Structure 1
Amino acid sequence: MDFIKVTVDERISHIYLDRGKSNAVDQQMLDELRQAIAAAQDDQAVEGIILHGKEGFFSAGLDLVALYGYDEAEVRRFWVTFMDVISALVSFDKPAVAAIGGHSPAAGCVLAICCDCRVMANGDYIIGLNEIPVGIIVPESIFLLYSFWLGQAAASRYLLEGKLFKPKEAFEAGLVDEVVDGKSIRTAAERQLRKYTQYERNTWRQSKRNIRRALIAAFESDQQETIDAVLKQWWSPATRSILKTVIDNLKK
């Protein structure tokens, strides 16, 4: 795999996002991540996963530069795969921890909130869902995932304003579970994971499935209508204009 690196250490699968400086998500990265999640789920020797980014960036979210150039079939395939990956992470019944070593807006935040626990590095970093300001519709299933951790009222307010949190703000809001020095993030993530793996395996995993039953059902339902709405907005002149401005700023 080119953009996802996996190491297994003491029955923990460490899945590293490794695409460029900012770990922006494109089609290939999603394909590889889906493969890594499935492998960890199927491997009886793996007790849980830790999802890592890089120092400074967990993931900057969607690679808007790449996606802007996709044709209609490619964009549809991307969104179908994206929803499949999120569904796989939401339904992953072993313990999962996100080690957020830096910025984690938009799709980066979505990947993190699929996990059971989030440990974030302290620093001048941001995390949150800011899709609306860039003209991207947030699917209902992803709102349910956001509100699973923040509560519906808070999630609604933060989503509609595109709120991005600093690490300590994210901790206070309940979006992350611990804020640590960046050099300690792997150790902290492993410690959090061991809190889960100490319990009887089947009891813990079935309880997780029960707790997430509504979430899992939301992602396993037919996403066609949701994706159609996202794509309709994606190709609208208003959103294309916003994306073009964002991309021009990124290139500068």
Structure 2
Amino acid sequence: MLNIIRHEAVVEIQMARPPVNALNLDLLQALQKALADAVHEEARGVLLSGAQGMFSAGVDVPALLTRDRAGVREYWREFFATCAALAHLPIPVVAAITGHSPAGGAVLSLFCDYRVMAQGPYRIGLNEVQVGLIAPDCIQMALRRVVGAYRAERLLVSGALIDAEQALAFGFVDELTAVDQVATRALHWLGETIALPSHAMLETRKIARADLTRTYADIDALPIDAFVDAFFHPQTQATLQALVERLKNKAK
């Protein structure tokens, strides 16, 4: 489910749940543990990567639709807890966006310090609206702080998936490179960052990311129940069921 690769002072956490690194409950919990382990093992930086051509397809919708309300609530709490783990990580973390990164995959990247994305026919975005989901404010703010309020509004309300070049132009990602060089470039950025005077860098980073850490200071204070209510809205359920049917037909 995860490949853990040590690059001297940096730990690479590579998502490895074929075929599309869909975020199910087990993968979310594994990510949280891997992040905690990296800190415990005194890594100086973390690189979060995926498979070539696919960073993460986001939420495992087919699996989620089989769960009852308690199970859905458990899932979304773990999703927000994973965002919180990234938000509170005391060391720099870079997203090596190795391909497509819709919805939940894009969300995880927003909680990283820096984003390197593959050039080519790859798309990224918070397309929740297009699949019938509401993007809560605790997720919207992560996008606002990266691309600005107006651009975030336009992307969120339309549920747009944008290509790599647009993502760079909008500031959604920080640089583009060949798909087989994404992790290498991400490691290069981390290497330059951790080479800085550590006390000054880490304390400045802590101040700069205070909005994230405040928002995710208490997972149970987030609007999880309201989000679960919205998940079970008839229109949302119908849209998600239609999505699953399209995925089944595409796989045939």
Structure 2 length as normaliser, TM-score? 0.96
Question: Partner of 1:240 in structure 2?
Answer: 237
Instruction: Supply the RMSD in Å over aligned alpha carbons.
Output: 1.1
Residue 63 of structure 1 deviates from its aligned partner by 0.6
Structure 2 residue 33 is the aligned partner of structure 1 residue 35: yes
| Residue in 2 that maps onto 1:70 | 67
Distance verdict in 2 for CA 1:119–1:225, change over 3 Å: closer
One-letter amino acid of the counterpart of residue 116, structure 2 = V
The 5-angstrom pairing of residues 14-93 of structure 1 reads 14-44=12-42, 46-93=43-90
Asked if 1 retains the 8 angstrom alpha-carbon contact of 2:77 and 2:219, the reply is no
- Provide the residue aligned with 2:5 in structure 1: 7
The alignment status of 1:162 with 2:159, answered yes or no, reads: yes
Displacement of 1:198:
1.1
AA in 1 matched with 2:22: A
Distance across 2 between alignment mates of 1:135 and 1:227: 17
- Counterpart amino acid of 2:147? L
Distance 1:218 1:165, change over 3 A: same
Matching residue of 1:143: 140
* CA drift at 1:222: 5.0
CA distance in structure 1 between the aligned counterparts of 2:89 and 2:240, rounded to whole angstroms: 33
1:200 paired to 2:197 = yes
**Partner residue, 1:127:** 124
Query: How far apart, CA to CA, are the structure 2 residues paired with 1:125 and 1:220?
Result: 33
Task: Return the alpha-carbon distance in structure 2 between the equivalents of residues 131 and 172 of structure 1.
Answer: 22
Q: Does 1:227 align with 2:210?
A: no
Q: Give the superposition deviation at 1:244.
A: 0.5
Name structure 2 gaps, 5 residues minimum.
none
Q: Cα distance, 1:193 vs. partner?
A: 0.8
In the aligned structure 2, how far is the partner of 1:146 from the partner of 1:41? 25
SS of the aligned residue for 1:171 comes to helix
Structure 1 pair 225/194, CA: closer, same or farther in 2 (3 Å)? closer
Q: Distance in 2 between matches of 1:139 and 1:207?
A: 28
Which of 134, 149, 152 is the matching residue for 1:152? 149
User: Does 2:113 correspond to 1:108?
Assistant: no
Alignment check: 8 A CA contact 2:52 2:180 kept:
no
Percent sequence identity is 34
Residue 173 (structure 2) pairs with residue 173 (structure 1): no
Conserved? CA contact 1:135–1:233, under 8 Å: no
Moved more, 131-140 or 60-69: 131-140
Q: Shift of the alpha carbon at 1:199?
A: 0.8
Letter in 1 for 2:134: I
Q: How many residues align?
A: 249
| 2:81 and 2:219 in contact (8 A); partners too | no
Q: CA deviation at 1:91?
A: 1.4
